[in-house]
């Protein structure tokens, strides 16, 4: 039996696009005399469709799309993911389903059993879990057809009380097919491979796995579809961060080993390289799928905006990214010079709009109302908001999308100005800690200096008052980021952090800053998710709360 894995970049709710890509892959598979082609979880709708699933029209379009695809499945079978209606009165109205298409029609439907409802996932909000376990048969093969999470109830901390594969093994399947929507984080490719290998070894049958690729706003899908033999050896792996396609012969699987060249990262740079490629894909897909082409950002002379510019240029092309330098009386000359050096080095368009006069005008108007109070955060924020207004004005006038340049460290502790430097249509670095920002800058410069060295090495500063440095307000980033990582990603509380050796006063201060600034994060642009726990849809915290505040 010849099986094809089709790793496709779907677009949520774009049925014409999704169906066209699926049918094209089916035609390609037919030309290769493939017996069965496999597509990803909820391929027809895109993942995650979220509350689109509450609209009958959306579900009907999904099912019509499945019927359209089925018409092309003559002389070939296909497995494709789509929501399907639950015919029973009780329970949720939908199932997350895998369709077996054959002889021009729907032959079988199997439902997802394990519905993740943690972090970024909320599938139980929409879907009824499967309770009937049956393999499928096609091409003379008995197949355990599973959907993503159905294979993840293994290991030392199972989340569910049932394991679908245990239920299916009594029917003696010859292989596992798993269609998935497994989002990227910088550890996920390792965790995912371990889970899939464990399944292949446990059940002693080969496993064919197909994942999504592409960005869906916050969620990034890295692909990495694969074939694993019955001993748990990965025989084939599809590319990361791009569409891909593979045909394999099940009869020669034991002697098969892919000679395809999958992209490798430099020694010790896998995490950084993965994050970089994910962010580039995230920016590119956000613009493509929304129908925009041009971006704008404020270029301050600091490393965050320089890194954002480098990523945007890679994603969109250098002529499609406008940098705006907005110096004030507090801006150092070297910040302006460093910014100019970078844009000239990469031949990028830029504007310089000095804000001195605008800022002085604001101060004049506000002076009678500030009651002779001394210069403080209010005046600093006025500068940031002036810059935000200028960037949004240019965005509105010319149709740019404003890229936010704040990093995760700043977002965590509220080191940013609402309606100022926290503006934007997309946050590129909002899930990247400051220490990782430096690593990414070095990674980008590994072959040639794109980001000027002085931008990387100089002390970080918001430059909103004379001689200001980030270290005036924040602990050293190496300490800050480690405490933030342990608190946010690892969910370690203050006692655990102190036991790790962190200063108790610093721990209390940082955790308080994180919790009292939740209101700011509710108002930030969508953040490209690259870590196991990102701000946004996967981290749900109350604003009005007292815990550690």
How far apart CA 460 and CA 483 sit, in angstroms, is: 19
Do residues 433 and 475 touch, judged by C-beta distance below 8 A?
no
Query: Residue 377: is the preceding peptide bond cis (ω within 30°)?
Result: no
Catalytic residue among 2, 73, 148, 410: 148
Q: Are strands 94-102 and 219-222 parallel, antiparallel or unpaired?
A: unpaired
Catalytic residue among 2, 41, 108, 410: 41
3-state secondary structure (DSSP) of residue 131:
coil
88 catalytic per annotation: no
How far apart CA 99 and CA 377 sit, in angstroms, is: 58
How far apart CA 292 and CA 18 sit, in angstroms, is: 19
321-325: strand order across its sheet: 350-352, 321-325, 295-298, 401-404, 426-427
94-102: strand order across its sheet: 105-111, 94-102, 77-85, 36-38, 2-7, 244-249
Nearest Cα neighbor of 182 from 279, 273, 81 is: 81
62 catalytic per annotation: no
Q: Residue 331 is encoded by which pair of tokens?
A: 């801006």
Phi, psi of 404 (to 5 degrees): -80, 140
148 catalytic per annotation: yes
**DSSP result, 322-351:** EEEE---TTS-HHHHHHHHHHHHHTT--EE
Nearest Cα neighbor of 300 from 365, 213, 228, 388 is: 388
Catalytic residue among 2, 62, 73, 112: 112
| Residues involved in catalysis | 41, 112, 148
């Amino acid at each position: 039996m010849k099986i094809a894995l089709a790793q496709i970049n779907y677009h949520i709710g774009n049925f014409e696009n999704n169906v066209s890509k699926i049918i094209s892959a089916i035609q390609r598979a037919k030309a290769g005399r493939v017996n069965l082609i496999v597509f990803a979880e909820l391929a027809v709708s895109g993942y995650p469709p979220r509350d689109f699933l509450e609209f009958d029209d959306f579900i009907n379009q999904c099912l019509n799309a499945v019927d359209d695809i089925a018409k092309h499945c003559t002389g070939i079978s296909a497995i494709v993911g789509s929501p399907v209606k639950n015919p029973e009165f009780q329970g949720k109205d939908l199932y997350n389903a895998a369709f077996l298409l054959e002889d021009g029609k729907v032959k079988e439907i199997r439902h997802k059993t394990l519905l993740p409802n943690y972090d970024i996932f909320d599938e139980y909000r929409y879907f009824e879990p499967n309770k009937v376990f049956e393999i499928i048969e096609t091409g003379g093969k008995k197949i355990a057809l599973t959907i993503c999470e159905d294979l993840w109830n293994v290991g030392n901390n199972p989340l569910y009380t049932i394991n679908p594969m245990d239920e299916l093994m009594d029917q003696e399947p010859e292989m596992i097919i798993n269609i998935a929507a497994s989002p990227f984080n910088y550890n996920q490719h390792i965790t995912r491979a371990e889970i899939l290998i464990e399944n292949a070894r446990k059940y002693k049958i080969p496993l064919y796995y197909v994942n999504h690729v592409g960005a869906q706003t916050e969620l990034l899908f890295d692909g990495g579809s694969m074939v694993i033999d019955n001993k748990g050896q990965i025989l084939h792996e599809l590319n990361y961060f791009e569409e891909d396609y593979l045909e394999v012969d099940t009869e020669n699987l034991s002697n098969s080993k892919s000679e395809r060249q999958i992209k490798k990262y430099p020694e010790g740079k896998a995490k950084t390289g993965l994050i970089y490629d994910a962010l580039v894909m995230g920016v590119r897909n956000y613009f493509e799928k929304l129908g925009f082409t041009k971006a704008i950002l404020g270029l301050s002379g600091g490393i965050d905006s320089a890194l954002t510019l480098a990523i945007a240029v890679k994603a969109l092309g250098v002529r499609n990214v406008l940098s705006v330098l907005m110096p004030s009386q507090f801006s150092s000359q070297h910040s302006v010079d460093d910014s100019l050096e970078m844009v000239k080095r990469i031949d990028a368009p830029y504007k310089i709009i000095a804000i001195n006069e605008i800022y002085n005008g604001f101060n004049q108007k506000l002076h009678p109302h500030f009651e002779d109070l001394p210069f403080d955060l209010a005046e600093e924020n006025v500068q940031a908001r002036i810059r935000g207004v200028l960037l949004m004005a240019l965005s509105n006038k010319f149709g740019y999308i404003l890229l936010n340049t704040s990093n995760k460290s700043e977002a965590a502790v509220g080191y940013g100005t609402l309606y100022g430097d926290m503006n934007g249509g997309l946050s590129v670095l909002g899930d990247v800690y400051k220490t990782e920002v430096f690593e990414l800058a070095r990674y980008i410069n590994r072959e040639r200096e794109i980001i000027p060295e002085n931008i990387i090495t100089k002390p970080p500063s918001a430059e909103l008052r004379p001689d200001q440095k980030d270290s005036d307000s924040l602990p050293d980033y190496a300490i800050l980021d480690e405490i933030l990582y342990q608190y946010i990603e690892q969910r370690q509380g203050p006692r655990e952090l102190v036991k790790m050796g962190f200063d108790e006063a610093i721990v209390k201060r940082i955790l308080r800053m994180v919790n009292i600034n939740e209101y700011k994060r509710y108002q930030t642009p969508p953040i490209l998710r690259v870590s196991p726990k990102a701000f946004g849809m996967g981290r749900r915290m109350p604003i009005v709360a007292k815990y550690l505040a």
